[in-house]
Amino acid sequence: MKHLKFTLILVCSIMAVNFSKAQTIEDGKKFLYYDKFISAKNVFQQLLTANPNNDAAAYWLGQTLIAPDEDKDIDGAKAVYQKALAANPNSALLNAGMGHIELLEGKTAEARNHFETALSLGGKNNVEVLDAVGFANGDFDSKFGDASYAVEKLKMATETKKFKDAKVMTDLGDAYRKMGDGGNAQAAYQEAMKMDPNYARAAYRLGRIYQSQGIAQEQLYMKYYNDAIAMDPNYTKVYWTLYQYFYETDVVKSAAYLDKYLGAKGSDETNACFLNAQMKFAQGLFAEALTSSENCISASATPYPNLYGLKAYAAVKLGDTMNAKNSFEKYFQVQKPNKIGPRDYATYASVLWGFPGNEAKVAEYIDKAVSLDSVNSNKAGYLKWLAGEYLKKKNYAEAANLYGRVISVKPNYSNVDLFNAGYNFYLSDKYDSSNRYFTLYTEKYPDDILGYYMLGNGYSVIDSTGALGLAIPYFNKTIEIGEKDTTKPTTITRLKVAYKFFIGYYFNVKKDKDSALLYVNKALALDPTDESMISNKEFILKTNPNAPPKQAAKKPQAPSSPKKK
């Protein structure tokens, strides 16, 4: 009996301890606030399992599933809401949650219906429901959300009796910010901090406003980020933002913030191994980054896909092209297609270029990089790289096509861009295409001799006998510009070519000996030692251009077009 009594007491004690540690909706919301998604999910799931009719647990479980910036489980959250709504269709929170999912899916009409239903069920003074509707529409991740609608509903929440909720006020700031109203956003964030001086999210959001305005506001946004840390050292978002901010410019600071982030996030950060390996890469420790990524892969039954990408980039830095190729192939197999970025495709293409026979695949990946990248200079860079590789192989036609695409993706293309396209088309004997780009050159740079010079060469090949005189206006313009300043060696070369064209044109086509001699003398004035000009002058002086073809067999010719040897 004594043993039985002891056992009963022990069981009751255990139950009492478990009951005292039973977690609540507020516990789960706190985990969610700190981006501890695993812990938050566990709390809400346990509460929902204990009571399937707990609509608050279902709502917050769904919110937890769609909260991560990456890897949102929209389908999972939708399933949670659908199941809960089937049992409790009159839940205002669940209707708001389903509306949030529909916004993420782009179903704006259905979402609005659910929001209005939620508001009708919850009543006009239900702050929690008003916030749920406002947050869904003001959410930065919901591109279909109606920011004005969010502001309207969140303002209604703030106008309720005895309102003092820093979260709702910060959500209002987010909605204003999404609407492009930075002034009201700032005011809302500052009001939230008055309501709760330890609400780090509001200070963090203020920092984000100023960071969006560029480096000139660095002092301000760093102030608010530091304020957020002082308010609540466990608020993980600020550490994550600062880790990313310094990643490219100050790896020492970046590493320090990563350590703080991982310390605050704890076991909820499932990618800690990857992040530490990635930091090795940022620090230039490529061999260590490679080894660390391999160790992370070996230690996990389902490795984080980015580990294969990190391994590939580290191998590229180490010159281990075979390892890089294999790692990129694995990365492309396991990573979600929408997570593969333009830089990934471009870098993989540069690796594949070293393995003959992959030219078509390289072109495919460069095309993907161009289509995915939103920065025009990056698009141009991908195309220029491949064009340069084709130039090394003297494949001028492919290079020309790629340089032509550079101009199509680069609104403010330069004279160099136009030259690269035009000259490589010229070298590949595609004179019409070459002339098109050099015509653009003369339109954009009308005082530059180069465009007219290349047009003269291009048209002199098309009109090889000179009978049509197609090259005349361009070589005339070459001479007009060139004779103004003959101090540059390139100008002298271009003038010589233009003079030689007119020598041949006037002697052979127009039968005008005096005009031909005029251009011979111009050429000799530039270079009295030019043996070809000396010979031409001697020939012209003693030859009748109207003589029968036999006597004029050695007549002066227009120069051949300048080709790369």
- DSSP conformation class of 507: I
Overall size of the chain counted in residues: 565
pTM: 0.82
Contact assessment for residue 442 and residue 453, using Cβ atoms and an 8 Å cutoff: no
Distances (CA, A) of 232 to 173, 196, 238, 342, 504: 20, 11, 10, 37, 84
Cβ neighbours of residue 386 closer than 8 Å, sequence gap 6 or more = 349, 353, 362, 363, 366, 402
Element (H, E) at 303: none
- pLDDT tens for the chain, 565 residues: list them: 344 443 333 333 433 334 346 799 999 999 999 999 999 999 999 999 999 999 999 999 999 999 998 889 999 999 999 999 999 999 999 999 999 999 999 999 999 999 999 999 998 899 999 999 999 999 888 889 999 999 999 999 999 999 999 999 999 999 999 999 999 999 999 999 999 999 999 999 999 999 999 988 999 999 999 999 999 999 999 999 999 999 999 999 999 999 999 999 999 999 999 999 999 999 999 999 999 999 999 999 999 999 999 999 999 999 999 999 999 999 999 999 999 999 999 999 999 999 999 999 999 999 999 999 999 999 999 999 999 999 999 999 999 999 999 999 999 999 999 999 999 999 999 999 999 999 999 999 999 999 999 999 999 999 999 999 999 999 999 999 999 999 999 999 999 999 999 999 999 999 999 999 999 999 999 999 999 999 999 999 999 888 776 554 455 555 455 554 3
CA 43, CA 62: separation in Å to the nearest integer? Answer: 12
Task: Find the distance separating the first CA and the last CA of the chain, reported in whole Å.
Answer: 107
pLDDT of residue 15: 39
pLDDT of residue 123: 86
pLDDT of residue 561: 52
Contact assessment for residue 494 and residue 478, using Cβ atoms and an 8 Å cutoff: yes
Burial class (CB in 10 A: 0-12, 13-18, 19+), 298: exposed
* Backbone angles phi and psi of 145, in degrees to 5: -65, 145
273-340 CATH pick, 1.20.120, 3.40.50, 1.25.40, 1.10.3210: 1.25.40
CATH number of 355-443: 1.25.40
Q: 3-class secondary structure for 522-548?
A: HHHHHCCCCHHHHHHHHHHHHCCCCCC
Contact assessment for residue 93 and residue 55, using Cβ atoms and an 8 Å cutoff: yes
Query: How many other C-beta atoms can be found within 10 angstroms of the C-beta atom of residue 229?
Result: 20
Domains 273-340 and 447-542 are alike in CATH topology: yes
For residue 412, which amino acid is it? N
Contact assessment for residue 147 and residue 137, using Cβ atoms and an 8 Å cutoff: yes
Contact assessment for residue 154 and residue 130, using Cβ atoms and an 8 Å cutoff: yes
Contact assessment for residue 201 and residue 33, using Cβ atoms and an 8 Å cutoff: yes
CATH 1.25.40.10 correct for 447-542: yes
Q: 3-class secondary structure for 388-457?
A: HHHHHCCCHHHHHHHHHHHHHHCCCCCHHHHHHHHHHHHHCCCHHHHHHHHHHHHHHCCCCHHHHHHHHH
pLDDT of residue 70: 82
Angle at 65 (CA atoms; ends 63, 70), nearest 5 degrees: 115
Q: Domain spans of the chain?
A: 273-340, 355-443, 447-542
